[in-house]
């Protein structure tokens, strides 16, 4: 495997709207990010992904872009962006932005033109079809946010257009070379500015299985998941390689794809040495227990399932490349609320368990990607009724649950577990009003637990979640352990030992043993050799006698073994 400039870094996702508001309008902004670059440096971050800050009506919080060449005034100005790039560079932090090109906003000039003249040049930028009211739609696909993927073209009762996501996110027609050229020029414009690369949104969706056709209905609404279409679509890699040749490859840019539904044999084509992306996210754990029914039917993930999914991802990438290891992002609940057994965060072992989850994930081979607030152990929030929920996906899932016969309370329970709002509540900087996020009214309610969980309280506490993450990042950066921590292969150790997640990371010269005891009871674990030193421990002591490691509930250790 070829070595790349980004391999040894620790990456961090910023959701700008919720990071830090500097002008009191309740919305996080670029100036807020600039003012926290020293913080990110102190934490040890080497690469930052910014969720979208482009001009946008924010129907899907910026994933609906109305101008790719402008910064939304709510986030700041292009001068702020340039300053951010400059200041980040001074601190050795690479900045990557979101690339959202499966769709744009219905307020983008291309779509406005298409509405003016559906048969003209810009009509061909989208999937627009002639259609009489009452006729069946060209296909019965369900949009990711609920309802048909087809909506009436504004201003025309005899045309419809395709949107796999919200109706304010019309899909761009990648089959049209003019669309692709526009996208590539835009990408190069940003790379010329000094951007290090992109996180590439929903990219697998750009290739549609054509001609449009129905698939078997899989819910009460009579529609069919887009997954069925994606499974059949062929040729997405032709688009992606063309894009990489025209853009990223010329700049040695860093790219991370948001790819679900890849076919196993395609993995090297995505992230191998000649792959179209540098890397992509490991969603192996994210998709656990996801069925076609919806959130309400989704069961809690057990530690055993979690372990098996991690090891499977490690196995399938060992000769191919790096995936990005995550426990959460802006589309998911908080990792600690999701993967730790119910009640753990609030219980006696909460802090230890949060560190354990962070540790077992961070130490896997790949690029560790933290999401803002993860480093202080931020948790899910709670909404009493659907009116308090902002997330369009959660609102749709509430309906899905009601349609399936659940009571409003039960439906809210599933919304509270999975709502994207969980990750989007403002960053908890300190114990002052609004967690120090804003002097105004935050756009989304601050999690009321901010008085206990905030950065300020954790900074000076050597036993805090934050100081633990800092130690993990420092270990990854330490040249003495780089070969094992960054490049060492992962080998599961005693995988059959229930609720214990243990693995080796081995380089030619070193063997590290990572052990996490994912349960409320102590456990004795045979040691596979002599321990040279304890590199990291989420508790104060580490008991090792007669070839046995005795771990306490939720204890996590990294041991250096005699090679």
Handedness of CA 458, 459, 462, 466 (dihedral sign): positive
Asked whether position 261 contacts ligand TEU by CB under 6 A, the answer is yes
87: exposed, middle or buried (Cβ count in 10 Å: 0-12, 13-18, 19+): middle
**Nearer residue to ligand TEU within complex by CB, 52 or 436:** 52
- Residue 124 sits at φ, ψ, to 5 deg, of -80, -5
Reduce the DSSP state of residue 448 to 3 states and report it: helix
User: Minimal distance in Å, beta carbon 191 to ligand TEU?
Assistant: 21
Range 155-174, binding ligand TEU (CB under 6 A) = 165
Q: How far is CA 376 from CA 42, 107, 315, 351, in A?
A: 14, 37, 30, 10
Asked whether position 149 contacts ligand TEU by CB under 6 A, the answer is no
Question: Please, are residues 65 and 170 in contact by the beta-carbon 8 Å criterion?
Answer: no
Asked whether position 25 contacts Ca ion by CB under 5 A, the answer is yes
**Nearer residue to Ca ion within complex by CB, 30 or 100:** 30
Tell me the DSSP string of 295-355: GGGPPPPPHHHHHHHHHHHHHHHTTT--EEE-S--TTS--HHHHHSPTTTTTSTTHHHHHH
Closest-by-Cβ residue to ligand TEU is 63
User: Minimal distance in Å, beta carbon 202 to ligand TEU?
Assistant: 4
Q: Which residue among the candidates 201, 328, 332, 375 is catalytic per the annotation? A: 201
User: Minimal distance in Å, beta carbon 80 to Ca ion?
Assistant: 11
Alpha carbon of residue 245 to chain centroid: 25
Residue 300: Cβ within 10 Å count: 13
Query: Which of 39, 184, 212, 260: binder of ligand TEU (CB under 6 A)?
Result: 260
The one of ligand TEU, Ca ion, none whose footprint includes residue 310, by CB under 5 to 8 A per kind, is: none
Asked whether position 439 contacts Ca ion by CB under 5 A, the answer is no
Q: Is the peptide bond preceding residue 107 cis, with omega within 30 degrees of 0?
A: no
Report which of 325, 324, 361, 323 is spatially closest to residue 340, judged by C-alpha positions: 361
Range 462-491, binding ligand TEU (CB under 6 A) = none
Range 85-104, binding ligand TEU (CB under 6 A) = 100
Range 27-56, binding Ca ion (CB under 5 A) = 27, 29
Stretch in the footprint of ligand TEU (CB under 6 A) among 175-183, 196-204, 471-479, 511-519? 196-204
Q: Which residue among the candidates 21, 60, 98, 258 is catalytic per the annotation? A: 258
Total of residues contacting ligand TEU (CB under 6 A):
14
Query: Which of 72, 201, 262, 379: binder of ligand TEU (CB under 6 A)?
Result: 201
Query: Which of 4, 8, 23, 67: binder of Ca ion (CB under 5 A)?
Result: 23
Reduce the DSSP state of residue 221 to 3 states and report it: coil
The one of ligand TEU, Ca ion, none whose footprint includes residue 27, by CB under 5 to 8 A per kind, is: Ca ion
User: Minimal distance in Å, beta carbon 54 to ligand TEU?
Assistant: 12
- Print the SS3 string covering 14-31: ECHHHCCCCCCCCCCCHH
Stretch in the footprint of ligand TEU (CB under 6 A) among 128-136, 202-210, 288-296, 470-478? 202-210
**Nearer residue to ligand TEU within complex by CB, 207 or 505:** 207
Alpha carbon of residue 244 to chain centroid: 22
User: Minimal distance in Å, beta carbon 227 to ligand TEU?
Assistant: 7
Range 356-415, binding ligand TEU (CB under 6 A) = none
Asked whether position 144 contacts ligand TEU by CB under 6 A, the answer is yes
User: Minimal distance in Å, beta carbon 457 to Ca ion?
Assistant: 24
Asked whether position 215 contacts ligand TEU by CB under 6 A, the answer is no
* C-alpha span between 551 and 543 (Å, rounded): 7
Tell me the DSSP string of 228-277: HHHHH---HHHHHHHHHHHTHHHHT-EEEE---S--GGGHHHHHSTT-SS
Asked whether position 204 contacts ligand TEU by CB under 6 A, the answer is yes
Report which of 279, 475, 267 is spatially closest to residue 358, judged by C-alpha positions: 475
Q: Give the bridge partners for 48, in sequence order.
A: 12, 95
Cite the beta strand spans of 483-537 per DSSP E: 489-492, 500-506, 511-517, 523-526, 531-537
Say whether 258 is catalytic.
Answer: yes
Query: Which of 10, 143, 173, 205: binder of ligand TEU (CB under 6 A)?
Result: 205
User: Minimal distance in Å, beta carbon 83 to Ca ion?
Assistant: 16
User: Minimal distance in Å, beta carbon 205 to ligand TEU?
Assistant: 6
Question: Please, are residues 50 and 98 in contact by the beta-carbon 8 Å criterion?
Answer: yes
Contacts of 151 (CB under 8 A, 6+ apart): 160, 161, 163, 167
**Nearer residue to ligand TEU within complex by CB, 165 or 503:** 165
**Nearer residue to Ca ion within complex by CB, 26 or 44:** 26
- Backbone conformation region of residue 250, classed left if phi is above 0, alpha if psi is from -120 to 50, else beta: alpha
Stretch in the footprint of Ca ion (CB under 5 A) among 17-25, 109-117, 182-190, 461-469? 17-25
Question: Please, are residues 176 and 128 in contact by the beta-carbon 8 Å criterion?
Answer: no
Say whether 332 is catalytic.
Answer: no
Spatial strand order of the sheet with 150-152 comes to 128-130, 159-162, 150-152
The one of ligand TEU, Ca ion, none whose footprint includes residue 260, by CB under 5 to 8 A per kind, is: ligand TEU
Q: How far is CA 227 from CA 231, 261, 298, 509, in A?
A: 6, 8, 18, 45
Range 166-185, binding Ca ion (CB under 5 A) = none
**Nearer residue to ligand TEU within complex by CB, 11 or 453:** 11
**Nearer residue to ligand TEU within complex by CB, 287 or 534:** 287
Total of residues contacting Ca ion (CB under 5 A):
5
- Residue 505 sits at φ, ψ, to 5 deg, of -120, 115
Tell me which residues touch Ca ion (CB under 5 A). Answer: 21, 23, 25, 27, 29
Name the residues annotated as catalytic: 201, 258
**Residues making contact with ligand TEU (CB under 6 A):** 60, 63, 100, 144, 165, 201-202, 204-205, 258, 260-261, 330-331
């Amino acid at each position: 495997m070829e070595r790349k400039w980004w391999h040894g870094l620790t990456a961090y996702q910023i959701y700008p709207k919720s990071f830090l508001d500097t002008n009191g309008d309740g919305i996080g902004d670029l100036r807020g990010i600039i003012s926290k670059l020293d913080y990110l440096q102190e934490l040890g971050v080497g690469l930052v992904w910014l969720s979208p800050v482009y001009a946008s009506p924010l129907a899907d919080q910026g994933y609906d872009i109305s101008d790719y060449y402008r910064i939304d005034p709510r986030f700041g100005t292009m001068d702020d962006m340039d300053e951010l790039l400059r200041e980040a560079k001074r601190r050795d932090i690479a900045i990557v932005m979101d690339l959202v090109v499966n769709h744009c906003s219905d307020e983008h000039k291309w779509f406005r033109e298409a509405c003016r003249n559906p048969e003209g040049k810009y009509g061909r930028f989208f999937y627009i079809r002639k259609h009489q009211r009452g006729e069946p739609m060209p296909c019965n696909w369900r949009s990711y946010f609920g309802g048909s993927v087809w909506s009436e073209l504004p201003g025309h009762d005899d045309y419809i257009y395709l949107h796999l996501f919200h109706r304010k996110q019309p899909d761009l027609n990648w089959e049209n070379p003019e669309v692709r050229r526009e996208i590539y020029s835009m990408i190069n414009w940003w790379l010329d500015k000094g951007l290090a690369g992109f996180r590439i949104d929903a990219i697998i969706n750009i290739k549609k299985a054509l001609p449009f056709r129905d698939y078997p209905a899989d819910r009460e609404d009579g529609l069919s998941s887009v997954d069925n279409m994606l499974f059949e679509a062929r040729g997405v890699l032709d688009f992606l390689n063309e894009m990489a040749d025209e853009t990223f490859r010329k700049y040695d840019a860093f790219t991370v794809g948001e790819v679900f539904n890849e076919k196993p044999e395609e993995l090297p084509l995505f992230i191998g040495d000649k792959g179209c992306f540098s890397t992509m996210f490991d969603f192996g754990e994210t998709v656990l227990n996801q069925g076609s029914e919806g959130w309400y039917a989704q069961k809690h993930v057990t530690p055993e399932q979690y372990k098996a999914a991690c090891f499977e991802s490690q196995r399938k990438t060992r000769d191919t490349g790096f995936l990005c290891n995550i426990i959460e992002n802006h589309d998911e609940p908080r990792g600690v609320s999701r993967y730790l057994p119910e009640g753990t965060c609030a219980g006696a072992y909460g802090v230890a368990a949060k560190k354990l989850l962070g540790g077992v994930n961070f130490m896997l081979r790949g690029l560790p990607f933290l999401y803002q607030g993860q480093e202080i152990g931020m948790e899910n929030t709670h909404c009493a009724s659907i009116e308090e929920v902002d997330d369009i996906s959660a609102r749709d899932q509430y309906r899905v649950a009601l349609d399936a016969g659940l009571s409003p309370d039960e439906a809210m329970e599933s919304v509270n577990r999975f709502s994207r709002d969980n990750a989007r509540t403002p960053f908890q900087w300190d114990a002052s009003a609004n967690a120090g996020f804003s002097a105004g009214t935050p756009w989304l309610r601050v999690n009321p637990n901010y008085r206990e969980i905030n950065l300020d309280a954790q900074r000076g506490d050597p036993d805090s979640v934050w100081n633990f993450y800092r130690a993990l990042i420092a270990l990854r950066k330490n040249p003495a352990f780089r070969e094992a921590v960054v490049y060492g292969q992962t080998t599961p150790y005693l995988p059959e030992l229930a609720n214990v997640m243990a693995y080796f990371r081995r380089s030619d010269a070193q063997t590290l043993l990572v052990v996490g005891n994912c349960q409320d009871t102590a456990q004795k674990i045979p040691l596979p050799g002599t321990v040279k030193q304890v590199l990291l421990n989420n508790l104060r002591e580490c008991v090792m006698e007669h070839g046995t490691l005795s771990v306490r509930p939720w204890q996590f250790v990294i041991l250096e073994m005699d090679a």
